[in-house]
Amino acid sequence: MRNLKRIVLCGLLLAGGLGLSAAGAGGAAAAREGRGDVVAVQRLRPLDTAEAARAELAGAEFDTGTVRFGVDMFQIVYRTVDPTGKPTIASGLLALPRSGERQLRVVSYAHGTELNRTDAPSMWRDGWSVGPAITYASAGFAAVAPDYLGMGLGPGPHPYLHLPSETTASVDLLRAARAVAVEQGRALRREVYVTGFSQGGSAATALGKALQSGADDWFRLGALAPVSGAYDLRNVELKALLTTVEWPYNLGYLGYLATAWSRLHDLPTFFDPKYAGRVESLYDGVHTGQDLGETLPGSPAELFSQEGLALLGTPSGRFAAALAEHDASCTGYRSPVPTRLFAARTDEQVPVANSEHCAAVLRAPVVDTGTQEYQGSVHLGSNIAGTAQAVRWFLQLS
């Protein structure tokens, strides 16, 4: 998930305001009305040399030990579908190594919880948002990082922790990235190394499951290495958020889930009437973690109604069914590819039991990311440490 105290930029940025250029007329994909078709591409600031990539990573406290190349960065706007299956657009990031290699292995990285849409990877607001993509690209991979629906340049509210739309957004970005790579004289290989952090951990396991099931005609799952995911919302994460995770993270995540899932799954409001409108309006992609922290009360008992608190504690009905859908990203299959789950044993926001439960089903090891902190958080530090461990493992597999 994310540091809710971080101050981020406000303001809804629309595609028309960023100088996006339409995809070239020579690309047949841009002319079709299909999922993964490229709508627009913006070349972002290049990291011309390996030294420039190291500097960008070091500034965000990411490991620089695997940097070999400079990186070219592209913001892609592409066609996908919303949670109801209707056509929409989303944005995402493609990072290509300046390696001279034409055939590139692919890493798909799914980011953690963000409140403000400008913190999505393709917006490149700071080194944190692009650190994993730069890590993988500077090591020689083509890195693809979806913003998710409603983040970056995508319209509408973000369907938080909604795995079906996180999966379609991820698959369709892979298709769009493949087309953009061709225009750059590069080719993306079929095998995708799938990873992601926190919210992106379960997005990664869901994408891996989809690729294994044939979600795309070209791409297939090559390896799976999610970091610190909340894979078991019902039995682990919800209980932790209600009992042990400290303020403001507990209420911030619970409020995000309650706001998004009431809309997605036609659930009654979870909130106490004193807070319902005030808190729900803050999960619009425009407000910040600081805004949320200034609005939240001190405890779940204050934020939620008695009925809402009871439903969070003992899920039933449509809420229980939605939790089962989310938690199924780790069930029903044994990963046929190399798989590792990375997690911190002392994570203060996403207990390691999430990873242990998922790993038991996938029959994969849980690799400890240690006690590294970022902004005082072991959870955030696990993104940095897990990325460093995952890229080295991917290099061994290549």
Sorted by where each begins, the domain ranges of the chain are 20-231+327-397, 245-326
How many Cα atoms are found within 13 Å in the side-chain-facing hemisphere of 395?
16
* Among the ranges given (96-110, 130-144, 227-241, 280-294), the one the predictor scored with the smallest mean pLDDT: 280-294
CA-closest candidate to residue 207, choices 260, 144, 164, 237: 164
Q: How many CB atoms lie within 10 A of CB 183?
A: 15
Q: What percent of the chain has pLDDT over 70?
A: 91
Between CA 146 and CA 151, with CA 150 as vertex, the angle to 5 degrees is 50
CA distance linking residue 373 with residue 377, whole number of Å: 5
pLDDT at residue 169 greater than cutoff 80: yes
Q: How far is CA 373 from CA 2, 63, 162, 225, 341, in A?
A: 13, 13, 28, 20, 19
pLDDT in tens, 26-84: 333 333 459 999 999 999 999 999 999 999 999 999 999 999 999 999 999 999 999 99
pLDDT-above-90 percentage for the chain: 88
Mean pLDDT (the chain) is: 91
* DSSP reduced 3-state for 122: helix
Q: Which of 4-18, 309-323, 344-358 has the lowest mean pLDDT?
A: 4-18
Q: Between 2.40.50.100, 3.50.50.60, 3.40.50.1820, 3.90.180.10, what CATH number should domain 20-231+327-397 receive?
A: 3.40.50.1820
pTM metric for this prediction: 0.92
Q: What is the mean pLDDT of residues 220-246?
A: 97
Choosing among 1.10.287, 1.10.3470, 1.10.260, 1.10.8, the CATH entry for 245-326 is: 1.10.260
| Residue 19 pLDDT level (bands cut at 50, 70, 90) | very low
pLDDT (tens digit per residue) in 360-376 = 999 999 999 999 999 99
